[in-house]
Amino acid sequence: MKLSYHGQSVVQIKTETHTILIDPFITGHERCDLDVDEVNPDVILLTHGHNDHVGDTIPIAKRTNALVVAPNELAQYLESRGLQTHPLHIGGAHTFDFGTVKLTQAFHGSMFYDEEGNGIYSGMPAGILFKAEGKTIYHAGDTGLFSDMKMIGEMNDIDVAFLPIGDNFTMGPEDALIAAKWIDASYVVPVHYNTFPLIEQDGKAFAANVTPGKGIALEPGESFEY
């Protein structure tokens, strides 16, 4: 399994058979190294409806016919825009041919603004547990620290956790270090930082403060295999 980071909360997972893209915020995101016209995911996973997470889902999915898996209300909206979707709700899991997706809770907001500036209610925000090829990946989405992260860690043998560290809108580095301890993943990768001035953080410093050997700070476009 190959995992790559592309700025903000954009994560790409490549298994032997599928390419999964999480929260594809590309257009208007200067740190992202991806090209909207060149990415070819089989599946897009969304954590919530904010535009810096839904990003380019609509044009990408229309071009590639990718399946979009998202929280229920967001999935319903995207289906109305002509996309192939699968809705989930927090605590619910579904096994697909590419792996199993389960939504966890996340403490945040969720509203998508369309081209006319209309706010579209997008349901509850979520984190994502993705299981494939014997690995478990946890993408926490946008969230503050919450004690049930202990339970998520206890119930799942997590290989890689992607945790937000930007502060202001999500956990900051100090809270994310607590989350990393509770989740107890084999590796922790910081996300959702340095995209805007309000969320500027030192990803390498955070990674260095995670349990020795477990923190990995990736620059956009960098990847590792696990």
pLDDT over 90 at 51, yes or no: yes
* Residue 148: predicted pLDDT: 97
pTM for the model stands at 0.97
- For the chain, what is the domain count? 1
Q: What is the mean pLDDT of the chain?
A: 97
Within a domain: residue 36? yes
Within a domain: residue 26? yes
CATH of the domain at 135: 3.60.15.10
Within a domain: residue 10? yes
* Residue 84: predicted pLDDT: 98
pLDDT tens-digit readout, 123-173: 999 999 999 999 999 999 999 999 999 999 999 999 999 999 999 999 999
**What is the number of H-type helices and E-type strands within the chain?**
6, 15
Tokens 């929280």 correspond to 71
Within a domain: residue 52? yes
pLDDT tens-digit readout, 11-36: 999 999 999 999 999 999 999 999 99
Longest dimension (CA), the chain: 48
Within a domain: residue 226? no
Give me the domain span that covers residue 141.
Answer: 2-221
Within a domain: residue 106? yes
* Residue 24: predicted pLDDT: 98
